[in-house]
Structure 1
Amino acid sequence: MSDPATGVVAWESGPHIEARTADLDYHRLPAEQVIGDNLPMVGERVLGDFAGVTVGVWEIEPSISSDVEIDEVFVVLSGDATVQFDDDTPDLELGPGSVVHVRSGQKTRWIVRDTLRKIFIAAPAT
Protein backbone atom coordinates (compact mmCIF):
# COMPACT_ATOMS: atom_id res chain seq x y z
CA MET A 1 0.00 0.00 0.00
CA SER A 2 1.43 3.41 -0.91
CA ASP A 3 0.87 6.78 0.72
CA PRO A 4 -1.01 8.91 -1.86
CA ALA A 5 0.72 12.09 -0.68
CA THR A 6 4.30 10.80 -0.93
CA GLY A 7 4.07 7.73 -3.14
CA VAL A 8 6.13 5.83 -0.54
CA VAL A 9 5.24 2.18 -0.30
CA ALA A 10 4.55 1.07 3.27
CA TRP A 11 6.17 -2.15 4.40
CA GLU A 12 3.39 -4.58 5.22
CA SER A 13 3.39 -8.02 6.72
CA GLY A 14 3.15 -10.71 4.15
CA PRO A 15 5.35 -12.48 1.62
CA HIS A 16 9.05 -12.25 2.27
CA ILE A 17 11.99 -11.98 -0.11
CA GLU A 18 15.22 -13.92 -0.11
CA ALA A 19 17.64 -11.03 0.47
CA ARG A 20 20.71 -12.93 -0.76
CA THR A 21 19.19 -13.50 -4.21
CA ALA A 22 16.48 -10.83 -4.56
CA ASP A 23 16.32 -8.93 -7.85
CA LEU A 24 17.63 -5.38 -7.48
CA ASP A 25 17.41 -2.25 -9.62
CA TYR A 26 20.91 -1.57 -11.00
CA HIS A 27 22.72 1.57 -12.13
CA ARG A 28 26.34 2.70 -12.47
CA LEU A 29 27.87 4.38 -9.44
CA PRO A 30 28.28 8.10 -10.22
CA ALA A 31 31.76 8.79 -11.61
CA GLU A 32 32.45 11.44 -8.95
CA GLN A 33 32.33 8.71 -6.29
CA VAL A 34 34.64 6.30 -8.11
CA ILE A 35 38.36 6.12 -7.40
CA GLY A 36 40.04 4.67 -10.49
CA ASP A 37 38.65 3.66 -13.87
CA ASN A 38 36.16 0.95 -12.89
CA LEU A 39 32.55 2.26 -12.81
CA PRO A 40 30.83 -0.45 -10.77
CA MET A 41 27.20 -1.41 -10.93
CA VAL A 42 25.19 -0.73 -7.78
CA GLY A 43 21.89 -2.43 -7.05
CA GLU A 44 19.18 -1.47 -4.61
CA ARG A 45 15.74 -2.61 -3.63
CA VAL A 46 13.86 -0.60 -1.05
CA LEU A 47 11.54 -2.86 0.91
CA GLY A 48 9.69 0.02 2.53
CA ASP A 49 9.54 2.29 5.52
CA PHE A 50 9.20 1.08 9.07
CA ALA A 51 9.07 3.25 12.21
CA GLY A 52 10.55 6.23 10.37
CA VAL A 53 13.45 4.40 8.72
CA THR A 54 13.95 2.89 5.27
CA VAL A 55 14.76 -0.81 4.95
CA GLY A 56 16.26 -2.37 1.85
CA VAL A 57 18.88 -4.46 0.11
CA TRP A 58 21.96 -2.88 -1.52
CA GLU A 59 24.84 -4.31 -3.57
CA ILE A 60 28.06 -3.04 -5.20
CA GLU A 61 30.54 -4.69 -7.55
CA PRO A 62 34.29 -4.81 -6.82
CA SER A 63 35.65 -1.27 -6.92
CA ILE A 64 37.07 1.58 -4.87
CA SER A 65 34.75 4.49 -4.15
CA SER A 66 34.13 7.35 -1.77
CA ASP A 67 30.94 8.33 -0.01
CA VAL A 68 29.46 10.63 2.61
CA GLU A 69 27.35 8.41 4.82
CA ILE A 70 23.82 8.80 6.13
CA ASP A 71 22.84 7.40 9.54
CA GLU A 72 22.57 3.70 8.79
CA VAL A 73 22.86 0.23 10.29
CA PHE A 74 23.59 -2.62 7.90
CA VAL A 75 24.21 -6.36 7.90
CA VAL A 76 26.50 -7.82 5.25
CA LEU A 77 25.00 -10.85 3.52
CA SER A 78 27.86 -11.63 1.14
CA GLY A 79 31.08 -10.19 -0.20
CA ASP A 80 34.37 -8.82 1.07
CA ALA A 81 35.33 -5.18 1.60
CA THR A 82 37.18 -2.66 3.75
CA VAL A 83 35.64 0.65 4.77
CA GLN A 84 38.10 3.41 5.64
CA PHE A 85 37.07 6.62 7.41
CA ASP A 86 38.43 10.17 7.16
CA ASP A 87 37.96 10.64 10.91
CA ASP A 88 39.54 8.60 13.74
CA THR A 89 37.21 5.63 13.21
CA PRO A 90 39.24 2.43 12.70
CA ASP A 91 38.99 0.65 9.32
CA LEU A 92 36.23 -1.94 9.12
CA GLU A 93 36.78 -5.33 7.50
CA LEU A 94 33.42 -6.47 6.12
CA GLY A 95 32.27 -9.98 5.36
CA PRO A 96 29.11 -12.07 5.74
CA GLY A 97 27.57 -11.42 9.14
CA SER A 98 29.23 -8.04 9.76
CA VAL A 99 26.88 -5.62 11.51
CA VAL A 100 27.83 -1.95 11.18
CA HIS A 101 26.58 1.48 12.18
CA VAL A 102 27.80 4.47 10.15
CA ARG A 103 26.97 8.01 11.21
CA SER A 104 25.57 10.76 9.06
CA GLY A 105 28.31 12.92 7.55
CA GLN A 106 31.16 10.41 7.91
CA LYS A 107 33.40 10.45 4.84
CA THR A 108 34.32 6.95 3.77
CA ARG A 109 36.33 5.04 1.20
CA TRP A 110 34.95 1.63 0.21
CA ILE A 111 37.42 -0.96 -1.08
CA VAL A 112 35.22 -3.77 -2.39
CA ARG A 113 37.13 -6.95 -3.31
CA ASP A 114 34.14 -9.25 -3.87
CA THR A 115 30.61 -8.06 -4.73
CA LEU A 116 29.13 -6.85 -1.45
CA ARG A 117 25.43 -7.25 -0.63
CA LYS A 118 23.87 -5.87 2.53
CA ILE A 119 20.53 -5.27 4.20
CA PHE A 120 20.30 -1.67 5.37
CA ILE A 121 18.19 0.27 7.84
CA ALA A 122 18.63 3.98 7.17
CA ALA A 123 17.32 7.11 8.81
CA PRO A 124 16.02 9.85 6.51
CA ALA A 125 18.70 12.21 5.23
CA THR A 126 18.61 15.52 7.03
Structure 2
Amino acid sequence: MRPGIVTDAAALSLPLEPVAAAQVREGSPATGYVELTDEIGVWEHTPGTSTDVEADEVFVVLSGAATLSFDVPELPPIELRPGSVVRLEAGMRTVWTVHETLRKVYLAG
Protein backbone atom coordinates (compact mmCIF):
# COMPACT_ATOMS: atom_id res chain seq x y z
CA MET A 1 0.00 0.00 0.00
CA ARG A 2 1.66 3.17 -1.17
CA PRO A 3 0.96 6.58 0.40
CA GLY A 4 -1.86 8.41 -1.35
CA ILE A 5 -3.41 5.22 -2.80
CA VAL A 6 -6.90 4.15 -1.73
CA THR A 7 -7.63 0.50 -0.86
CA ASP A 8 -11.27 -0.53 -0.45
CA ALA A 9 -10.86 -2.85 2.54
CA ALA A 10 -14.55 -3.80 2.48
CA ALA A 11 -14.38 -5.05 -1.12
CA LEU A 12 -10.87 -6.53 -1.06
CA SER A 13 -10.74 -10.19 -2.12
CA LEU A 14 -9.28 -12.32 0.68
CA PRO A 15 -8.06 -15.91 0.21
CA LEU A 16 -9.82 -18.00 2.88
CA GLU A 17 -8.54 -21.24 4.42
CA PRO A 18 -10.21 -23.52 6.98
CA VAL A 19 -9.24 -22.84 10.58
CA ALA A 20 -6.94 -25.57 11.94
CA ALA A 21 -9.01 -28.35 13.52
CA ALA A 22 -7.27 -27.91 16.89
CA GLN A 23 -8.58 -24.33 17.05
CA VAL A 24 -12.21 -25.03 15.99
CA ARG A 25 -14.81 -25.20 18.73
CA GLU A 26 -17.94 -25.09 16.55
CA GLY A 27 -18.83 -25.11 12.87
CA SER A 28 -16.39 -24.99 9.97
CA PRO A 29 -14.93 -21.48 10.12
CA ALA A 30 -12.40 -20.19 7.62
CA THR A 31 -10.09 -17.19 7.89
CA GLY A 32 -7.99 -15.15 5.55
CA TYR A 33 -6.05 -11.95 5.43
CA VAL A 34 -4.18 -9.60 3.15
CA GLU A 35 -1.25 -7.56 4.42
CA LEU A 36 -1.36 -4.00 3.10
CA THR A 37 1.96 -3.14 4.79
CA ASP A 38 4.16 -4.91 7.35
CA GLU A 39 1.86 -3.61 10.11
CA ILE A 40 -1.55 -3.06 8.48
CA GLY A 41 -3.88 -5.70 7.10
CA VAL A 42 -7.42 -6.85 6.47
CA TRP A 43 -8.64 -10.07 8.15
CA GLU A 44 -11.85 -12.07 7.80
CA HIS A 45 -13.45 -14.95 9.76
CA THR A 46 -16.54 -16.82 8.53
CA PRO A 47 -19.30 -18.04 10.91
CA GLY A 48 -18.23 -20.53 13.56
CA THR A 49 -16.19 -20.54 16.76
CA SER A 50 -12.41 -20.76 17.01
CA THR A 51 -9.62 -20.03 19.47
CA ASP A 52 -6.52 -17.92 18.96
CA VAL A 53 -3.48 -16.49 20.72
CA GLU A 54 -3.23 -12.82 19.85
CA ALA A 55 -0.48 -10.46 18.78
CA ASP A 56 -0.31 -6.79 19.79
CA GLU A 57 -2.88 -5.07 17.60
CA VAL A 58 -5.65 -2.53 17.33
CA PHE A 59 -8.49 -3.32 14.96
CA VAL A 60 -11.66 -1.76 13.59
CA VAL A 61 -14.56 -3.98 12.53
CA LEU A 62 -15.77 -3.18 9.02
CA SER A 63 -18.61 -5.70 8.74
CA GLY A 64 -20.21 -8.67 10.43
CA ALA A 65 -21.00 -9.63 14.01
CA ALA A 66 -19.15 -11.69 16.59
CA THR A 67 -18.55 -12.23 20.28
CA LEU A 68 -14.93 -12.07 21.42
CA SER A 69 -14.22 -13.82 24.74
CA PHE A 70 -11.03 -13.87 26.79
CA ASP A 71 -9.45 -16.49 29.06
CA VAL A 72 -9.17 -14.04 31.94
CA PRO A 73 -12.31 -13.71 34.08
CA GLU A 74 -11.91 -9.96 34.68
CA LEU A 75 -12.42 -9.27 30.95
CA PRO A 76 -16.05 -9.76 29.93
CA PRO A 77 -16.93 -10.88 26.39
CA ILE A 78 -17.09 -8.11 23.79
CA GLU A 79 -19.85 -7.85 21.19
CA LEU A 80 -18.26 -6.85 17.88
CA ARG A 81 -20.13 -4.99 15.14
CA PRO A 82 -19.19 -2.50 12.42
CA GLY A 83 -17.35 0.40 14.01
CA SER A 84 -16.05 -1.54 17.04
CA VAL A 85 -12.45 -0.60 17.90
CA VAL A 86 -10.52 -3.09 20.04
CA ARG A 87 -6.96 -3.35 21.35
CA LEU A 88 -5.41 -6.77 21.95
CA GLU A 89 -2.11 -7.58 23.65
CA ALA A 90 0.36 -10.27 22.61
CA GLY A 91 -0.34 -13.57 24.31
CA MET A 92 -4.04 -12.98 25.04
CA ARG A 93 -5.99 -16.20 24.55
CA THR A 94 -9.28 -15.53 22.80
CA VAL A 95 -12.39 -17.29 21.55
CA TRP A 96 -14.00 -15.84 18.42
CA THR A 97 -17.70 -16.73 18.05
CA VAL A 98 -18.59 -15.31 14.66
CA HIS A 99 -22.33 -14.93 13.93
CA GLU A 100 -21.98 -13.12 10.57
CA THR A 101 -18.74 -13.10 8.57
CA LEU A 102 -16.48 -10.63 10.35
CA ARG A 103 -14.03 -8.38 8.52
CA LYS A 104 -11.59 -6.08 10.29
CA VAL A 105 -8.71 -3.77 9.50
CA TYR A 106 -5.85 -4.25 11.93
CA LEU A 107 -2.71 -2.37 12.90
CA ALA A 108 -0.18 -4.75 14.45
CA GLY A 109 2.87 -3.92 16.46
Instruction: Provide the TM-score with structure 1 as the length reference.
Output: 0.81
For 1:67, the equivalent position in structure 2 comes to: 52
For 1:57, the equivalent position in structure 2 comes to: 42
For 2:25, the equivalent position in structure 1 comes to: 35
Partner Cα separation in structure 1 for residue 108 and residue 24 of structure 2? 22
SS of 1:32's equivalent in the other structure is helix
Q: Gaps (5+ residues) in structure 1?
A: 1-10
For 2:87, the equivalent position in structure 1 comes to: 101
Percent of pairs with identical residues: 45
Q: Gaps (5+ residues) in structure 2?
A: none
**Count of residue pairs brought into register by the alignment:** 108
Q: Larger relative contact order (C-alpha < 8 A, sep ≥ 6)?
A: 2
Structure index of larger Rg: 1
Runs of 4+ in 1 over 3 A off after TM superposition: none
Deviation, 1:55, is 0.3
Partner Cα separation in structure 2 for residue 55 and residue 31 of structure 1? 27
> How do residues 74-89 of structure 1 correspond to structure 2 at under 5 angstroms?
74-87=59-72, 88-89=74-75
Amino acid of the structure 1 residue aligned with 2:19: L
